[in-house]
């Protein structure tokens, strides 16, 4: 995968996803790393022309198996999101949520079925334009030992200071940053400040939104912030993402309830699909989680 990467093109956001996935694999097992390194670059860009991405996404009977583990992560998945709409995905760990996100960014190709981006088969869409159009906030935010400003600018190399601040405000992290003595020039990591999980996630969000992506993917990236902060971030996002297709992956009802469509995944299958108001009326996984989280809140 890495070797098929064109050095002349910069896809900062996609790189963050890759780096994270590599780190995760490293943690998972050395065996996987070896398999990964020996893997032929399977994802190729075949499109000669550039693609203007609008953000309509369609999955049609998609099956996907991870080659190394032979785990079939997705089974006959079909759904569609129109550009500018919000899709939420909820389900237990291992149900296939992140895999859907990975396939939208074409980190892997499907076994069978099809994914269409703006009615074009994803394999025919210009890979570089696709990845440039996606703002990806991974589950485990990955920050560099650099300044806060550099970390945010990783999402748009030539961003102005004003753009950095706007992104930070929309990610609800600006007020934290200005409290540091060196503000946006504060170093992160070993040589600098230690950030909380929630702060890291919000910097990672600022990085994803600064490039004004057409498709924004939040992979469980609000898990470390409290529900009030989450509420603020999601409201701000709503304002800036009117024309942005947004995919929110979460195990929290509070994150997914406003979505235009919610997918409930179980073991790689969609077991429920609909809007919050409809799903809470039906017996099933969603209502169960809803009742449970309502109870937790009241306690």
Alpha helix segments (H runs only) across 154-274: 161-170, 174-177, 197-210, 227-240, 253-256
b/e per residue 83-92 (b: at least 16 CB within 10 A): ebbbbbbbbe
Is 126 a binding residue for ligand ADP by CB under 6 A? The answer is no
CB 84 within 8 Å of CB 76: no
Q: Using CA atoms, how far apart are residues 106 and 47, in angstroms rounded to an integer?
A: 14
**Cα-only R_g, the chain:** 19
* Number of residues located near ligand ADP, criterion CB under 6 A: 13
Based on CB atoms, which residue is closest to Mg ion, 93 or 299?
A: 93
Quick one: what does residue 69 bind among Mg ion, ligand ADP, none, with the CB cut-off 5 to 8 Å set by partner type? ligand ADP
- Which residues in 40-79 contact ligand ADP (CB under 6 A)? 66, 68-69, 71, 73
DSSP-assigned beta bridge partners for residue 217: 136, 247
Q: State CA 82 to chain mean position distance.
A: 17
Residue in 82, 72, 69 with CA at minimum distance from that of residue 113: 72
* DSSP track, 86-135: EEEEEE-TTSSHHHHHHHHTTSS--SEEEEEETTEEGGGS-HHHHHHTEE
Q: Which stretch binds Mg ion (CB under 5 A): 80-88, 96-104, 177-185, 236-244?
A: 96-104
Quick one: what does residue 94 bind among Mg ion, ligand ADP, none, with the CB cut-off 5 to 8 Å set by partner type? ligand ADP
Based on CB atoms, which residue is closest to ligand ADP, 28 or 294?
A: 28
Out of 20, 45, 99, 126, the residue judged to bind ligand ADP by CB under 6 A: 99
Based on CB atoms, which residue is closest to ligand ADP, 73 or 209?
A: 73
Q: Nearest distance from residue 249's CB to Mg ion, in Å?
A: 7
Hey, is 262 helix, strand or coil?
strand
Quick one: what does residue 108 bind among Mg ion, ligand ADP, none, with the CB cut-off 5 to 8 Å set by partner type? none
Is 284 a binding residue for ligand ADP by CB under 6 A? The answer is no
Helix axes 197-210, 227-240, angle to 10 degrees: 0
Out of 56, 98, 151, 250, the residue judged to bind ligand ADP by CB under 6 A: 98
Place of tokens 């409201």: 235
Q: Which stretch binds ligand ADP (CB under 6 A): 7-15, 89-97, 165-173, 223-231?
A: 89-97
Q: Nearest distance from residue 69's CB to ligand ADP, in Å?
A: 4
Q: Nearest distance from residue 8's CB to ligand ADP, in Å?
A: 27
Out of 20, 45, 56, 95, the residue judged to bind ligand ADP by CB under 6 A: 95
In the complex, the residues that contact ligand ADP under the rule CB under 6 A are: 66, 68-69, 71, 73, 91, 93-99
In the complex, the residues that contact Mg ion under the rule CB under 5 A are: 97-98
């Amino acid at each position: 995968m890495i070797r098929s990467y064109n050095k002349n093109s910069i896809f900062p956001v996609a790189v963050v996803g890759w780096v994270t996935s590599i780190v995760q694999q490293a943690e998972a097992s050395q065996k996987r790393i070896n398999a990964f390194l020996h893997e032929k670059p399977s994802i190729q860009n075949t499109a000669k022309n550039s693609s203007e991405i609008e953000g309509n996404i369609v999955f049609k009977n998609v099956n996907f198996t991870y080659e190394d583990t032979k785990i079939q992560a997705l089974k006959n998945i079909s759904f569609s999101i129109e550009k500018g709409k919000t899709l939420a995905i909820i389900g237990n760990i291992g149900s296939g949520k992140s895999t859907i996100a990975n396939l939208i960014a074409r980190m892997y190709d499907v076994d069978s079925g099809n994914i269409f981006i703006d009615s074009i088969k994803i394999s025919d869409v210009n890979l570089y334009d696709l990845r440039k159009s996606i703002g990806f906030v991974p589950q485990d935010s990955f920050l560099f030992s650099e300044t806060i400003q550099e970390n945010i600018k990783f999402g748009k190399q030539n961003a102005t200071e004003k753009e950095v601040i706007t992104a930070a405000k929309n990610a609800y992290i600006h007020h934290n940053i200005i409290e540091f003595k060196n503000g946006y020039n504060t170093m992160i990591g070993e040589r600098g400040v230690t950030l909380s999980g929630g702060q890291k996630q919000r910097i990672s969000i600022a990085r994803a939104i600064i490039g004004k992506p057409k498709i924004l993917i939040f992979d469980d990236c609000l898990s470390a912030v409290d529900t009030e902060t989450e509420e603020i971030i999601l409201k701000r996002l709503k304002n800036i993402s009117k024309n942005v297709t947004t995919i929110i992956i979460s195990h929290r009802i509070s994150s997914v309830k406003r979505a235009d469509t919610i997918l409930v995944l179980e073991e790689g299958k969609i077991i429920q699909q609909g809007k919050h108001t409809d799903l809470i009326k039906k017996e099933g996984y969603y209502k169960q989680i809803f009742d449970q989280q309502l109870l937790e809140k009241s306690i």
